[in-house]
Amino acid sequence: MALTGLVLAGFVLGHMTGNLLMFKSPAAINAYAKWLHENVALLWTARTVLIISVFAHIWVGIQLTLENRAARAGGPAAEATRRATIGSRTMPYSGVVILGFVVFHLLHFTLKAVALGDVAYGDDVYKMVVAGFSCKTVAVFYIISMLLLCLHLSHGVSSVFQTLGLRNERWRGRLDVLALAYAWIVALGFISIPLAVLTGCLK
């Protein structure tokens, strides 16, 4: 879980940072997208690593959820489960919504199978993103999904520290703050784009 979680958490930070080029200029985000598509070897290596990580993450996540359910039947683990944070208790649910979001997102922006409005954008990624978020329902769906991503990441990142054996009594507090900050930076970075389109700052 830790390795796949690390790969996916690293990807979302990188993807969010790249997306912020939307605020620089249409030319900047379009040049970035063009560069990514032209580097076929890099693109397909990243895609392969991502696909393997997503499937492995889901598989281990299901095992963990089933083990937790079985442990909840009684004993000391039941007490530990009751004390768990909301982020930890909702991991399977936030995970399922994020998966649904990613499927929609790929259909929307990568496969361009979701037609919204009658804007023709061709290879213009800037125009495609603005057209996509001009639909309020889609923009709100993205924002809600990013808030759930924040919840999922905040618990996920602190669990990685736990697995690495770093989250001891001395460091627990500081590492939990670090995980929460990471989750909010990623979520707010993503949210800024649909929000900027909704408020007319990006058009």
Distance CA 81, CA 124 (A): 48
Q: Which is nearer to ligand HEM, 128 or 175 (CB)?
A: 128
23's tokens: 């605020």
Task: Name which of residues 126 to 185 contact ligand HEM (CB under 6 A).
Answer: 129, 142, 149
Q: What's the Rg (C-alpha) of the chain?
A: 19
Task: Name which of residues 57 to 76 contact ligand HEM (CB under 6 A).
Answer: none
* Candidates 69-77, 79-87, 105-113, 167-175; binding stretch for ligand HEM (CB under 6 A): 105-113
Cα-Cα-Cα-Cα torsion 17, 18, 20, 25, nearest 10 degrees, comes to 150
Among 24, 47, 69, 89, the residue binding ligand HEM under the rule CB under 6 A is: 47
- Is residue 125 a contact residue for ligand HEM (CB under 6 A)? yes
Least distance (Å) between residue 85 CB and ligand HEM: 21
Residue nearest ligand HEM, Cβ-based = 33
Least distance (Å) between residue 23 CB and ligand HEM: 11
> Which among 100, 104, 6, 110 has a CA at the least distance from the CA of 49?
6
> Which among 31, 14, 25 has a CA at the least distance from the CA of 130?
25
